[in-house]
Chain A
Amino acid sequence: MGLLSRKATCSTHGQDSSYFLGWQEYEKNPYNEVNNPTGIIQMGLAENQLCLDLLEPWLMKNPDALGLKRDGISIFKELALFQDYNGFPAFKRALVDFMGEIRGNKVSFDPNHVVLTAGATSANETLMFCLADQGDAFLLPTPYYPGFDRDLRWRTGVEIVPIHCTSSNGFKVTLPAIEQAYRQAQKRKLRVKGVLITNPSNPLGTTMARDELDLLINFIEDKQIHLISDEIYSGTVFTSPSFVSVMEVLKDRNLDQTQVWERVHIVYSLSKDLGLPGFRVGAIYSNDPVVVSAATKMSSFGLVSSQTQYLLSAMLLDKKFTKEYMSENHKRLQKQQKDLVSGLEKAGIRCLDSNAGLFCWVDMRHLLKSNTFEAEMELWQKFVYHVKINISPGSSCHCIEPGWFRVCFANMSESTLKLAIQRLKSFVSSIGMNSQGHQELKSLRRKARNNWVFRLSLQSFYDREQDTTTKVSFSYRPHFMSLSNIAATLDAAA
């Protein structure tokens, strides 16, 4: 016996990825300032623990919220029996107000378009069930959150086709890349149902520019497909440029109340912005009533506890508290990110310029033995087992360039961060010790890199030759030059 279903025995749950393996190693030997100072420091979990000390005083000042009382009278019975999948109305209203505030009140949301789910994980999966059938596909820009492999594909049977982004333009989404992905999906006989973006991006930590969003909206309008914007990090934007939601762009282009309006959906959660992942609160926002109806019924499989809904509605309704909390949150995130970036710079490691998120996208290509993913894995293993830092390798995020790592900074104290940076520095300098070999390696790497760059650009040259407009072929040359420019600057920095 023990005969299980195919779904239970396949590996689409993605738990074998290095992203999760690193966590497992951390669990075996977790760092603790007092009890285990030589343990592994967890820098692979995007959790915001910087502002928990602000929540506790609020709870003490508002005992009704925890005590399940309203104006001193117990409403426990009402909450205990409340299992309506339409959600606690006061909570939905408070949530949409909060979401509006994060977007500078440039867009307002309708509580009737919200579906509550047990976390954004459940929200993403439920949206997949609603928008796509088995065998359909969604396009995702790489690098993307490793959890999507499980959330979007496992039980739904939907495929992910990557839109490859490269460091040549800061990993921004470009039209050729999207079209290439669409063609790829068609070659694989997959029907593309939509595009899913994470804005602000995980793992990049950057917000999408308006022109990128315009590009995406044009694309989905043209192909008549959906756009899901996972805006779970929207409240973690700590510096300019400010956050622009896809809903804002639609409104500015007067596309609200058109067909496209109904094909754009937002996923949100309080796990990152409020630092409450344990509470399991996620939301789907959609302007398509059929999607809202279907998703609401499916949310029965992951309802938010009524006790939690009540507690959070009280918290979110306290606008003064949320304003203070968010501004303090941004301040602390900014400081922590600055500390990490400057610490890494001193070790000769550069990060992608980021203005959001709980992590940095770190460029360690110069530390690789060779420009391959095997070398990246080797380096990652060194980090986990020797340097004792768990970071997430770019390959687990499906990045096509080896050597990038996601390093989280928001789940630790300042002192732990300092220690982590110190460990990194000593590791980097120990690599640099063998300078002779290092120089040879560098020149070899430079040759290999230039070859790769040349080949890559040549390939895109041939691709572009298919296009008829001369405009495109002209714009190609600066593209080629900028690639080799970057290669040159990296040589200088390494």
Chain B
Amino acid sequence: MRLIVPLQGVVQGRGGLIFGSLIPCALFYFLQLYLKRHRSPKPQSNPPSPTTSSPKLAEMTRTSSRSNLFSRSIGQVRISSRAISIAKPNESPYYIGLDKASEDPYDRLSNPDGVIQLGLSENRLCFDLIEKWMSENLGHSITGRDSGELNINGIATYQPFDGTMELKLAMAGFMSHIMGGAVTFEPSQMVLTAGATPAIETLCFCLADQGNAFLVPTPYYPGFDRDVKFRTGVELIPVHCRSTDNFALSITALDQAFNQTRKHGTKIRGILLSNPANPVGNLLSREMLYAILDFAREKNIHVISDEIFAGSMYGNEEFVSMAEVLDSEGFDKNRVHIVYGLSKDLSLPGFRVGVIYSFNENVLAAARKLTRFSSVSAPTQRLLVSMLSDARFIEEYVKTNKRRLQNMHALFVAGLKGLNIRCADSSAGLYCWADMSKLISSYSEKGELELWDKLLNVGKINVTPGSACHCIEPGWFRCCFTTLAEEDIPVVLERIRKAVENTTDLLNSS
């Protein structure tokens, strides 16, 4: 019920105030109450879609059948409003592109006309190393068969829901190693989850109430919209970063966003960072980390640092983890929480392993209880304890991974440069942030989505448009290059060229 300003009594004389204001007030309230009680429940409005103008796509067969379902079931609201909005077919080009690429995947030999997947940040460069390790070690790693005897008891029964101590120890060692040994992680401050996705959601449940918000620098990983907003009721407030300073975060922008949000009555509970950033791939400098921590302390908010790409460095810059900064200076550790996972650095997204690392005992206690809903599967835990404890293998893997990433990145970026497409400066990640603004027909989101559509349906390559990542400048695209082999790069470049054949800029450059 909305607050109304009581009407001033219009009846003069005795009892004017009562007749004039209280009675109309009361009547108004009762009317509202009556309407509320007898109004049929309506489904909630859709969550804000990143694309204001939906792109015209050649085929929508998969999604159109689902929209028929909705016309049938929305009339009878028996399921939750949450479910209705979530079940709707994904309108974001991020998901549409992923679906299309998985339906018709490119294969150099068997399907050379398929869609090349550059929209999924998956690292396929070092599978040969992992496969070799598996073939040598897999058998006894899972069952603990050292002396020829299987021991399934250890993995079949209920395990601690926040992960076994062995895996936490192994994970702490691994995280420390990939961050250059500059930090030591304490296993007792870790909570393991089934992937980084539930790690982010769990932290949101712990740190914010429904209706609160997190500040997030743009452009950001499209999955955050799901992880943070789906079920928690927490909002994301974008803090826009621009290409003029290579999409670096500025405290002024943070401050502005904070104040503006507060004016609208929404409480900010924290900042959600990706470091290394996704989709840009740049790092937060040490000074920037100090500044963010100062800002957080001043505003009394939390900081969540998603460091899932920490082990995917290819540049020469040094990666500095939030944990490292906290170790060295006297900052309040209770407000910092780090998220990590093995999906990117070890290329094991299917195994579902994520980490929440926090210094706040209360958060850890709550998060531990929440892992009941998303624990790591026991055989996977056993397997990973084996793998992560093999120091020699990990060292070789990390070194080779970095070398191959560097190589691939250099080739890809050079290739794009040849098409007069420049990329933002980046040092990490499995992707590059490409500026194709010169190739779009109109400098707007509409133009960007038209180009995305052309690239997908004509060029048959799936890239992620900046609007899906909430980038404020149109024309930027995230291209993941780690799903490719070296031989595929010329194919990709050729397809881009073909897709934008009519654009004069491109022709002029080559």
Instruction: Please report A residues at the B interface, Cβ cutoff 8 Å.
Output: 1-9, 13, 15, 45, 47, 49, 52, 55-56, 59-60, 63, 66-68, 74, 76-77, 79-84, 118-119, 121-122, 125, 129-134, 136, 150-151, 155, 193, 224-226, 263, 275-281, 288-291, 293-295, 297-298, 300-308, 311
Contact = CB atoms under 8 A, between A and B. Distances in A.
A42 to B, nearest CB: 11
A298 B127 contact: no
B377 A304 contact: yes
B206 interface: yes
A80 B152 contact: no
A129 B205 CA distance: 14
B198 A308 contact: no
A67 B138 contact: yes
A290 B152 contact: no
B334 interface: yes
Contact of A279 (B138, B156, B347): B156
Contacts of B122: 81
B400 interface: no
B155 interface: yes
Contact of B363 (A4, A76, A77, A294): A4
Contact of B226 (A6, A56, A129, A300): A300
Interface stretch (B49-57, B75-83, B401-409, B454-462): B75-83
B87 A305 contact: no
A7 B231 CA distance: 13
B330 interface: no
B362 A8 contact: yes
B395 interface: no
B201 interface: yes
B369 interface: yes
B194 A131 contact: no
Contact of A305 (B86, B127, B194): B194
Nearest to B374: A302
A104 B454 CA distance: 53
Contact of B158 (A45, A55, A136): A45
Interface stretch (B304-312, B317-325, B348-356): B348-356
A82 B350 contact: yes
B69 A290 contact: yes
B201 A301 contact: yes
A225 B80 CA distance: 12
Nearest to B350: A306
A118 B375 contact: yes
A59 B150 contact: yes
Given A4-B362, A224-B78, A305-B351, A298 B231 contact: yes
Contacts of B66: 289, 293
Given A277-B156, A280-B376, 18 more contacts: A5-B205, A49-B153, A49-B157, A59-B143, A59-B150, A67-B134, A130-B83, A151-B373, A224-B76, A226-B78, A278-B155, A290-B69, A294-B79, A303-B195, A305-B194, A307-B351, A307-B380, A311-B379
B146 to A, nearest CB: 15
A76 to B, nearest CB: 5
A276 B86 CA distance: 31
A373 B375 CA distance: 35
A81 B350 contact: yes
- Residue of B70, B143, B152, B197 ringed by the most chain A CB atoms within 10 A: B152
8 contacts: A1-B334, A56-B143, A119-B373, A131-B79, A151-B372, A278-B156, A290-B69, A307-B351
A130 B86 CA distance: 9
Interface of B: 66, 69-70, 73, 76, 78-84, 86-87, 102, 122, 124, 127, 130-131, 134-135, 138-139, 142-143, 150-153, 155-159, 194-195, 197-198, 201, 205-210, 212, 226-227, 230-232, 269, 300, 332, 334-335, 343, 347-352, 360, 362-363, 366, 369-370, 372-380, 383
Name A's interface SS: helix
Contact of A76 (B78, B134, B226): B134
Given A83-B349, A294-B79, A308-B380, A4 B231 contact: no
B350 A15 contact: no
B79 A288 contact: yes
B134 A68 contact: yes
B207 A155 contact: no
Contacts of B87: 290-291, 293-294, 297
Contacts of A295: 83
Nearest to B164: A278
A301 B362 contact: no
A225 B143 CA distance: 46
Contacts of B194: 118, 280, 301-303, 305
Contacts of B227: 301
Given A66-B139, A74-B135, A278-B156, A155 B379 contact: no
Contacts of B151: 56
The residue in B194, B362, B369, B376 that gathers the most chain A C-beta atoms within 10 A of its C-beta is B194
Contacts of B360: 1-2
Q: Top 8 closest A-B pairs, CB basis? A: A278-B378, A306-B350, A8-B366, A294-B83, A294-B87, A305-B377, A293-B87, A130-B83
Contacts of B332: 1
Given A13-B369, A302-B374, A289 B79 contact: no
A279 B83 contact: no
Contact of A67 (B139, B372, B378): B139
Contacts of A122: 373-374
B150 A150 contact: no
A101 B215 CA distance: 51
A150 B205 CA distance: 14
Contacts of A302: 194, 198, 373-374
B373 A298 contact: no
B377 A80 contact: no
Nearest to A126: B373
A301 B138 contact: no
B373 A306 contact: no
A74 B136 CA distance: 12
Nearest to B373: A122
Contacts of B207: 4-5, 8
Contacts of B374: 118, 122, 301-302
B148 to A, nearest CB: 10
A155 B210 CA distance: 11
Contact of B206 (A8, A132, A305): A8
B221 to A, nearest CB: 13
Nearest to A55: B152
A45 B159 CA distance: 13
Contact of B139 (A13, A47, A63, A132): A63
A169 to B, nearest CB: 31
A304 B343 CA distance: 14
Contacts of A305: 194, 350-352, 376-377, 379-380
A289 B369 CA distance: 31
A7 B232 CA distance: 10
Contacts of B208: 5
A273 B83 CA distance: 30
A137 to B, nearest CB: 13
Contact of A68 (B138, B195, B334, B376): B138
A131 B80 contact: yes
Contacts of A79: 350
A80 B157 contact: no
Contact of B131 (A76, A129, A281): A76
A288 B152 CA distance: 37
Nearest to B347: A80
B209 A6 contact: yes
Contacts of B352: 83, 118, 303-306
A289 B157 CA distance: 34
A2 B348 CA distance: 33
A295 B124 CA distance: 29
Nearest to A125: B373
Nearest to B84: A290
A278 B195 contact: no
Contacts of A263: 78
A490 to B, nearest CB: 36
